[in-house]
Amino acid sequence: MKQTRIAVIGGGAIGRTHAVAIRDCPGTELAAIVDPFEAGAALAGELEALHLTELDALFDTRIDGAVIATPNALHVPQATMLIEAGIPVLVEKPLGENAAACRALVSLSEHTGVPGLVGHHRRHNPIIRAAKCAIEDGRFGALVSGTISATLHKADSYFDVAWRREKGSGGPVLINLIHEIDLVRHLFGEIGEVFAMASNDRRGFEVEDTAVILLRLSGGGMVTVALTDAGVGPWCWDTTAGENLARFPAMPAVSHMFAGTRAGMSLPDLSFWTHDGPADWTVPQVNRPLEIVPMDSYVKQIRHFAAVIAGEERPRITLADGAANIAVIEAIRTSVAQRRPVAPDLTGQDAERQTMVE
Ligand SMILES: NC(=O)c1ccc[n+]([C@@H]2O[C@H](COP(=O)([O-])OP(=O)(O)OC[C@H]3O[C@@H](n4cnc5c(N)ncnc54)[C@H](O)[C@@H]3O)[C@@H](O)[C@H]2O)c1
């Protein structure tokens, strides 16, 4: 069987996860690690892979696809270079630093026919797939309200890397909340309006360390998100779902609670609460957890990427999804700055109109 040769650009924390997933996924092969710095050289040495310091050098090797796991500011420029060279890309989240640049990438991919996907790996997790099935087959009903906790306490050393402290590329709204935005859009559809407050009281960096965000879904239902990278508590997907045990613990707590018209569902434990009798709060509810067969989300993501490269599957998380997620993040930033509810500009038409007025 022909091996799909995939390179990893950026051999840092998540680059390692991708490189190991490529090694562990049947049918794929780690073609190279591209990284000008020591971390990449060390990872390549450890995994006995080719190490390159320049992206250009990749074009002299035979590769079928590339994972972009570099700092956020490099995602769009590097994806543009690769797509222009005809190489399919899996781009880490956030797809880019602003929605306009992301939309230009979407157009390039559509124009050239070279596919791209975004690394919102949770959508490949069997837990999320089970939740999505329960929603699609009507057992959950329509979303009424949801509560998401993204409580993570990052070590001080995490912020030694400058871009993680800087506006535009760092901060938990861009780095962590974007996974929640993608998840809410995936499960319940488009977000019509946001209202948010943020603070940098705890860390004192340029970027926020804490935020509270309200989301109104276009199709009905509202979700609140409590987000911090400076607060202790287990209530976070990353530290409860057991998705990446090499990096995070898996504590027995929940991070997401969704109330539907027919059932209540929490994640990642997949509790699924319903009334056996009338839907009345005085009647006890029964928990019949949804069942799954656990699988490694990152390996599944690479398997999907290989299938996209082969033309056997369409991207599950499209570049357009990545651009829409950024548009919601931009609306949240505007809401924080202007202290008002904001409708995300999902198409770029509002921005275009604004430019014409100016
Ligand atoms: N999907 C997820 O759950 C997840 C988790 C962590 C990080 N990420 C995303 O992945 C990206 C990387 O994050 P990280 O935490 O691994 O950062 P990191 O700093 O650990 O790694 C980035 C790597 O990129 C390398 N690099 C810098 N400039 C480069 C260049 N010009 N060419 C090639 N390599 C270059 C650095 O040397 C470093 O090894 C970020 O966009 C982040 O948001 C996603």
**Could you tell me which residues come within 8 angstroms of residue 255 by beta carbon, excluding any fewer than 6 positions away?**
148, 149, 150, 235, 236, 237, 240, 241, 267, 268
Q: How far is the CA of 146 from the centre of ligand 1 (A)?
A: 31
Query: Angle of helix 177-188 relative to helix 126-136, nearest 10 degrees?
Result: 30
Q: What pLDDT is recorded for position 353?
A: 65
* Confidence class for position 28, pLDDT limits 50, 70, 90: very high
What residue's CA is closest to ligand 1, atom 7?
A: 14
Whole-angstrom distance, CA of residue 276 vs CA of residue 261: 14
> Is the CB of residue 16 below 6 angstroms from any atom belonging to ligand 1?
no
Q: How far is the CA of 11 from the centre of ligand 1 (A)?
A: 7
Q: What are phi and psi of 320, to 5 degrees?
A: -65, -35
Across residues 10-20, what is the average pLDDT? 96
> Is the CB of residue 34 below 6 angstroms from any atom belonging to ligand 1?
yes
Average pLDDT, the chain: 95
> Is the CB of residue 41 below 6 angstroms from any atom belonging to ligand 1?
no
CA-based nearest residue to 181, from 29, 52, 71, 344: 344
CA-based nearest residue to 150, from 102, 188, 118, 182: 182
Residue to mutate, 52, 78, 92, 248, ligand 1, most ligand atoms under 8 Å from C-beta: 92
Q: How far is the CA of 35 from the centre of ligand 1 (A)?
A: 10
Q: What pLDDT is recorded for position 358?
A: 55
Q: What pLDDT is recorded for position 168?
A: 80
pLDDT tens, position by position, 219-264: 999 999 999 999 999 999 999 999 989 889 999 999 999 999 999 9
pLDDT tens, position by position, 68-95: 999 989 999 999 999 999 999 999 999 9
Which atom in ligand 1 lies closest to the alpha carbon of residue 174?
43
Q: What pLDDT is recorded for position 349?
A: 77
Q: How far is the CA of 71 from the centre of ligand 1 (A)?
A: 5
Count CB neighbours of 306 within 10 A: 25
What residue's CA is closest to ligand 1, atom 10?
A: 69
Which atom in ligand 1 lies closest to the alpha carbon of residue 119?
1
* Confidence class for position 128, pLDDT limits 50, 70, 90: very high
* Token duo for residue 299: 């390996």
What residue's CA is closest to ligand 1, atom 33?
A: 35
Q: What pLDDT is recorded for position 298?
A: 96
* Token duo for residue 212: 């509270």
Which residue bears the tokens 């009334």? Answer: 275
> Is the CB of residue 238 below 6 angstroms from any atom belonging to ligand 1?
no
Q: How far is the CA of 60 from the centre of ligand 1 (A)?
A: 23
pLDDT tens, position by position, 330-358: 999 999 999 999 999 998 877 766 655 55
What residue's CA is closest to ligand 1, atom 30?
A: 35
Looking at the chain, the number of H-run helices and the number of E-run strands are 11, 14
Residues of the chain above pLDDT 90, percent: 90
Longest CA span, the chain: 68
Whole-angstrom distance, CA of residue 134 vs CA of residue 132: 5
Count CB neighbours of 296 within 10 A: 21
What structural domains does the chain harbor? 4-122+298-317 (3.40.50.720), 126-294 (3.30.360.10)
> Is the CB of residue 39 below 6 angstroms from any atom belonging to ligand 1?
yes
| DSSP reduced 3-state for 58 | helix
Helix or strand (DSSP H, E) at 191: strand 191-199
Reported residue count of the chain is 358
CA atoms within 13 A on the CB side of 235: 16
Q: What pLDDT is recorded for position 87?
A: 98
6 beta partners: 30, 65
Residue 7 and residue 67 in contact, taking contact as beta carbons nearer than 8 Å: yes
* Token duo for residue 278: 């009338």
Which residue bears the tokens 């790996």? Answer: 121
Q: What pLDDT is recorded for position 244?
A: 87
Residue 12 and residue 67 in contact, taking contact as beta carbons nearer than 8 Å: no
pLDDT tens, position by position, 203-219: 999 999 999 999 999 99
Whole-angstrom distance, CA of residue 53 vs CA of residue 39: 11
65 beta partners: 6
Calculate ∠ Cα 192-92-46, nearest 5°. Answer: 160
> Is the CB of residue 37 below 6 angstroms from any atom belonging to ligand 1?
yes
Q: How far is the CA of 332 from the centre of ligand 1 (A)?
A: 24
**Could you tell me which residues come within 8 angstroms of residue 193 by beta carbon, excluding any fewer than 6 positions away?**
215, 216, 341, 342, 343, 344
